[in-house]
Amino acid sequence: MSLSPILSKVRVVVSCGILSVKISRNNFYTHKMSEKPAEHANTNGFECKTPFLIGVAGGTASGKSTVCQRIMEKLGQQHKEQTERRVVCISQDSFYRTLKPSERLRAERGQFNFDHPDAFDDKKLLSTLKDILAGKKVEVPEYDYISNSISHRSHTIYPADVVLIEGILVFYFPEVRELFHMKLFVDTDSDTRLARRVPRDIMERGRDLEQVLNQYMNFVKPAFEEFCLPTKKFADVIIPRGADNFVAIDLIVHHIWDIMYKKRPEINGCNGHLEVDDANGRRMSGSSEDTLSR
């Protein structure tokens, strides 16, 4: 199946930088792309041989990680070894700062605000993203939600074509925000998010119901409204309903595909033939002459 019809559609929507255009009955909107120097206007500042950096923001349990997972799957990356991956995903949670002893005690009692920008080491996040953009290999630690701290385990992030970074406040810090070539905001209603967060925090993050609800009411909800929600305006694309929005994810994947492999087959010296799945799970592959075989 040829990608041409859908790619041409995506190109019209995205490269014209159309402001808030509703393109389907599935409420998928595009917003004006970031203001960048004219020579990079079509690709949000993306330059050949730098990874295409995508920020994915949204409230807690909105489905940010799941959306990133879907994008990776659709780009055929899920079965690849880490060193072979051309699309990688990092969580902003890996950049929570080390707590002082008194803060650690408060965290243990559920009285520390992990949803406030001050909870993050934004300088470390910025320098890591700059290293990634410079094509360097970086180490990103895993975050341990049980001990409320960075764990001893870490992942090596090898130079890749596309790097997704997801987190509640990835658009909050201006210097970090400016690095993204594409900004996505996962917009899932707060009832759904709370309904997902409660079982997740109990089953995966070692909390009890009272703790989860107290933390949500005292910190998570107010901080979402004060710090996270206002960053929605910076998004290029807003994804209502998160990973359930197959059309939005499909269009985003095709746009990434278009930028990374069709317009720029020389990227990273890659001569890859890329296959992607459409919304119905049908496998499609690039057939144009500028998509080369790996």
Ligand X SMILES: O=c1ccn([C@@H]2O[C@H](COP(=O)(O)O)[C@@H](O)[C@H]2O)c(=O)[nH]1
Ligand Y SMILES: Nc1ncnc2c1ncn2[C@@H]1O[C@H](COP(=O)(O)OP(=O)(O)O)[C@@H](O)[C@H]1O
The partner in contact with residue 252, picked from ligand Y, ligand X, none with C-beta cut-offs of 5 to 8 angstroms by kind, is none
Could you list the residues that contact ligand X (CB under 6 A)?
60-61, 64, 93, 96, 114-115, 145, 148, 168, 220
Q: Which is nearer to ligand Y, 106 or 196 (CB)?
A: 196
Q: Which is nearer to ligand X, 218 or 268 (CB)?
A: 218
Among 110, 242, 265, 286, binds ligand Y (CB under 6 A): 242
Cβ atoms of 229 and 172 within 8 Å: the answer is no
Among 57, 61, 157, 252, binds ligand Y (CB under 6 A): 61
Q: Which residue has the tokens 């703790």?
A: 211
| Alpha carbon distance 220, 194 (integer Å) | 10
CB of 60 to ligand X, least distance (A): 3
Among 45, 51, 55, 63, binds ligand Y (CB under 6 A): 63
| Alpha carbon distance 219, 236 (integer Å) | 27
| Alpha carbon distance 53, 157 (integer Å) | 13
Q: Which is nearer to ligand X, 46 or 112 (CB)?
A: 112
Bridge partners (DSSP) listed for residue 127: none
Closest CA to 157 of 177, 134, 184, 178: 134
**Kind of pairing between the strands at 182-187 and 237-240:** parallel
| Alpha carbon distance 13, 23 (integer Å) | 8
200 binds ligand Y (CB under 6 A): yes
CB of 264 to ligand Y, least distance (A): 29
CB of 72 to ligand X, least distance (A): 17
121 binds ligand Y (CB under 6 A): no
- Binding part of the chain for ligand Y, among 62-70, 104-112, 220-228, 252-260 by CB under 6 A, reads 62-70
The partner in contact with residue 220, picked from ligand Y, ligand X, none with C-beta cut-offs of 5 to 8 angstroms by kind, is ligand X
For residue 64, give both structure tokens. 């940010």
Q: Which is nearer to ligand Y, 14 or 57 (CB)?
A: 57
At 182, give phi and psi (nearest 5°): -145, 140
Distances (CA, A) of 254 to 91, 156, 247, 274: 23, 27, 11, 11
Q: Give residues in contact with ligand Y (CB under 6 A).
A: 58, 60-66, 196, 200, 242-244
